[in-house]
Structure 1
Amino acid sequence: MHADVKWIILSYKVPAEPSTLRVRIWRTLKALGVVYIQQSVCVAPQTQEVAKKIEALQKMITANSGEALLLEVERFADGTEKELRKLFNKQRVAELEEFLGGCRLFLQEIESETSKGNFSYHEVEENEADLAKLKRWHKKIAKRDFFGCPLLGESKRQLEQCELTFDAFMHQVYATEGSAEGKIHLDGIIASRNDE
């Protein structure tokens, strides 16, 4: 994101019930990567997507008997902006550390199955689903990385390592299970011809 960032601030108040509205607002804002500076007051860099979703939230809040004030800020004081950038990166670091933990678990799982010689199609499917989750997770975090979190590069490399490890595992499964299936099929053909 450029050095001269424009900001958007949403301050809102919603009725206590139904609580589902508060939860929906909170989840949407967290998915956007906002930083709460006070209860029910959040800030984010003003990107097209962030502005569009926050404006939609503002309409939803007012349509549900709530109050929402939307502010567009051209510039904060230098110290404030520096502090906000730190808060955004602190959130991304926490998310990426958790993501890296997920990558480690994924690699440990493949290592465990490899050491057991458990080369089955079921394991390929299971690990492929886990890898797809990691990819989606990383994409969501990267989308919220407005200020170049220092862990983003490491997380990309770790995800690539997961992809390479999975690819090698899948080829090992194919070499093991695929050739066994071919041998069983071939043995069955030879046996039936010998019976004739």
Structure 2
Amino acid sequence: MSEKRKWLILSYRVPAEPSTLRVRIWRTLKSIGAFYLQQSVCVLPLTSSIQEKAIKLQNLISENHGEVIVLEVEQFSDITEEEMIHAFNQQREVEYAEFIENCNAFFEEIKKETSRGKFTYHEVEENEVELVRLKRWHRKILNRDFFQSHSSVESQNKLDECIASLNHFTQQVYEKEGNKEGDLM
């Protein structure tokens, strides 16, 4: 093991009702990339950002009559740490695979519109909205990719291809409409 990491383990118990609190906690933990060891017990690499979010969660749980324990772990055994990193990377691989699948759907949509000669500003706008969604989604996955899983580079390449594909399609629309990019219509 080359670098020493610190970890955060968060264990919580909240009242059964309202269920919205449990869902909120679960969503928050999943959004920051937590790995659940078991129900209501999760682990995260300890960063300043994660620590801030853990404090907010701790306060939320306490304010809602729940119980929470937050442990800072100086180190796991080498094998356990490797297993943790592997588990985190597996979660990201699943997310990246879905993201890449959506990028491929984006390409197919542009290919379909191109083959139909559907070079309209409306199509550009629809695809721009989808590209913004893909960029936001990719950024969220990257923020949770603590250990740079294998698909991180591929996902960035796919996103870059989406951007290039939309730029090319947009240029075709401008040419069809008789405008150059940046010209006033």
Q: Same fold (TM over 0.5)?
A: yes
Q: Aligned letter for 2:154?
A: E
Query: SS where residue 5 of structure 2 aligns?
Result: coil
Give 1:4 deviation, angstroms. Answer: 1.2
- For structure 1, the 5+ residue unaligned runs are 180-184, 186-196
Are 1:74 and 2:74 counterparts? yes
Q: Aligned letter for 2:104?
A: R
Q: Which residue of 2 aligns with 1:193?
A: none
What CA deviation, in whole Å up to 9, does each residue of 1:160-192 have, x standing for no partner? 00000000000100111235xxxxx9xxxxxxx
Are 1:117 and 2:148 counterparts? no
Are 1:87 and 2:63 counterparts? no
Q: Which residue of 2 aligns with 1:64?
A: 64
Displacement over 3 Å in runs of 4+: none
Give 1:55 deviation, angstroms. Answer: 1.0
Partner Cα separation in structure 2 for residue 126 and residue 3 of structure 1: 45
Query: SS where residue 135 of structure 2 aligns?
Result: helix
Query: SS where residue 132 of structure 1 aligns?
Result: helix
Q: Which residue of 1 aligns with 2:144?
A: 144
Within 5 A, what are the aligned runs for 1:29-40?
29-40=29-40
Q: Which residue of 1 aligns with 2:171?
A: 171
Partner Cα separation in structure 1 for residue 50 and residue 99 of structure 2: 23
Q: Aligned letter for 2:81?
A: E
Q: Which residue of 2 aligns with 1:42?
A: 42
Query: SS where residue 51 of structure 1 aligns?
Result: helix
What CA deviation, in whole Å up to 9, does each residue of 1:98-131 have, x standing for no partner? 0000000000000000000000010000000000
Give 1:93 deviation, angstroms. Answer: 0.1
Say which is worse superposed, 149-158 or 170-179, in terms of deviation. Answer: 170-179
- For structure 2, the 5+ residue unaligned runs are 180-184
Give 1:3 deviation, angstroms. Answer: 2.4
Query: SS where residue 44 of structure 2 aligns?
Result: strand
Query: SS where residue 161 of structure 1 aligns?
Result: helix
The two structures, once aligned, show a CA RMSD in angstroms of 1.2
Query: SS where residue 178 of structure 2 aligns?
Result: helix
- What is the number of equivalent residue pairs in this alignment? 179
Q: Aligned letter for 1:33?
A: G
Rg larger in 1 or in 2?
A: 1
Select the structure that is richer in helix: 1
**TM-score of the pair, normalised by structure 1:** 0.89
Partner Cα separation in structure 2 for residue 98 and residue 3 of structure 1: 30
Partner Cα separation in structure 2 for residue 129 and residue 163 of structure 1: 12
Are 1:100 and 2:95 counterparts? no
Q: Which residue of 2 aligns with 1:190?
A: none
**TM-score of the pair, normalised by structure 2:** 0.95
Query: SS where residue 150 of structure 2 aligns?
Result: coil
Partner Cα separation in structure 2 for residue 135 and residue 145 of structure 1: 15
Query: SS where residue 37 of structure 1 aligns?
Result: strand
